[in-house]
Structure 1
Amino acid sequence: HVESFTPSPRYSASSILVDSKLYFFGGLGKNSDGSEGCQNSVFYLDISSSFSTSDSIPWTDLTSIAALPVATCWQVSAVGSLNNSIYMFGGLMTNSSDQVNTLVYAFDTKIKQWSNPTISGAAPLIRTEFQIAQDSSRVYMFGGLSGPLTGSQNTRWFRDISILDIKSLSWLIVAASGVDLPLPQADFTATILNNGTIVYIGGRQATTSSGSGISYRQMDKTASGTIPGVRSGHSAVLAMDGRIIVYGGKENEESPSPANPDLAILDTASNVTQQTPTVAPGPSSNVYLLDISNNSNYTWITSFNAKNTLNPTSTNDQFTDSTPTYSILPSPTSPIISSNVAIIIGVAIGCSVSLIIVSVIAFLLIKRWLKYRKSSANQGLSDVLVSVDNDNKL
């Protein structure tokens, strides 16, 4: 592999954390001839080492030995059952010679090889701009759209739910009869809560499967507090106390202006209270670090200490002058899980506005959060929630 590597500017890549490596796949960026297209890049950020955003960031490029089988963007990724493999789903293919009808590829993180896994059952159609949520044994896939750049002749929007059992490698199709499904959706986020409920936030929706009547989806009006503006292409991550932290996105498809506000918090642990503080842009860097250890005060920081992740980063590393902190309302109830610190790594490779944020990953949470799946009351979000059975029964 190649050390001292800096990724080229891109967006619509997918990312996933395996052990201490934050992997990135594909994305839309510049080709060697200057044109824009989907990339076949594979690289990772090693978070086992401390680093500062102003110094050399521990990137490693694997593209020369483990490039994507197909150059894609707007695909999604999930972790395999043994935590040594990554499944990549769908995506858009701008190069006509790359277009294939393969929904899932598998990447072995140990031997750095791709494969086309054999999966039993009826696979859903290949698509892009959809989302998945994952628990310990299953991947829940919802929405998205297909068209000429996904290998389909006609544009089609989806509102189906498919489940991949990652232990048995089998597809399960959820019967939709008698269920009031949402409209066909794309460019939203999917976050699974501790009680097995999946929260879908933002995105675009269409009134028909052919894509007519497209509109930006309003946030749920039943949540209390200030409702943030519409957005698509944003990111969302679940904190250990039940807060969903939403960042970035754009508010208009034709004029790509950043969503307002940049950062929004949906507190699912305290009567579904929505808080949307105003926050200045993050540090001028390709890697953004947000310390969320203090529920009432989030701070953009510039250094990550891999050896001391249970204590907040030194105040010397905070943007106390150019990047002010902000406060949110204290939660009236106790959090689901107590935690001394939680640092979110948000990677925006060469971006200038928040709408092209690649990903936000809470690395301290992902390894252990499945151990803490506790039931909690999450009422009042019926139009954005889908419940999944924690006992793995259909």
Structure 2
Amino acid sequence: MATVESKAHHILIVDDVSENVELLKYLLSTHGFKTYTAFSAEEARLILLNTTIDVLLLDVNMPVQDGFSFCRELRGMDAFKLLPIIFITSIEREIGYEEAMKNGGDDFINKPFNKRELVAKIGSILRIKLLQDALSQEKIRYEKELQTARKVQEQLIPEKKFIWNGIQAQTMFHPVFQIGGDFVDCWADSKKLHIVIADCSGHGPSAALIGAMFKMQLFNLDPNMTLKERVYHIRKNLEIVLPEDYSITFCYAILDESLELNYINGGHPAPILFSEGKTSLLEGISPMIMNIDLNAKDEVHTLKLKPKSKLLLYTDGASEAMNASNQFLSEEGMRTIFADSVTEGGEILERVRTKILDFCGSKQPMDDMAMVCIQL
């Protein structure tokens, strides 16, 4: 990491009195600083917009625009929110210091100033700036890595839409972060349609990695396994590798050609069925997946679906979406949204997503949302 002494830092001196400017310029240049000078806020603004400045030394009493007003202006601009600003003024400290801090300054020095104090304060504030710059660079690097990871996750969890035996299947993934811990997939073999949705606790890279582990376990299963055998193997393998304080809720359903639906719900929000103009919840729940052996007894539930029925599976990021009044959408709200979306026709999942975001209004969802819709 760079140190304060490792390069010539750029100091901008702003004062309408030329003698003050020349004194500061001479003093700072003898300590290895590169100085820029301005005699008004207008001149300083031009220099800041065209030159990288490390510290701004700012007088208060200047014509046209005073130092306090100029400091407030700079703090309102993204490029200068963290620019170190030290006020150097003849205003009494009792009054000036409070005003300097109130208007966005970082420090305050009275005129006539002590040169050792001035240099020491510049060195101190530069050390903080170096740390802030390093954090900003790390943030940029991290965001680039997240974007790359997001592209990888899009390949792991592609949104799908296809027809199987006259039945339309569609998935949707709406991450709040660049990457998240939700998983959703739907695929068909010769005689069955597989529908899987899961939600790993937490957010970000760690949750996404666990979601990838879930998919790896899912697609390494023997095609001839029954639903119960599939869930058993996924559960046992993930219990071994799942970190402490992490858990996975899931729902795995299989629909056959006779429209018989078999499913196991592992602590997940109940799927919503729309049939003959009404919504209902698919009951029955088994334990979620955790890093302890719960000796879970997964119960397979069976339901005969009627033609023209619609089925919605979703993660709790949807039902726990909150509006500006801090009200949760809730399971009942999801039932209403699903029923309205089906009745209105068109792209059901897109309507559901839009209605959830409309409910949230100005308050963005705090959790990822994954959904899958099956239309008979």
> TM-score, normalising length from structure 1?
0.26
Is the helix fraction higher in 1 or 2? 2
The structure carrying a bigger strand percent of its residues is: 1
Query: Highest Rg: 1 or 2?
Result: 2
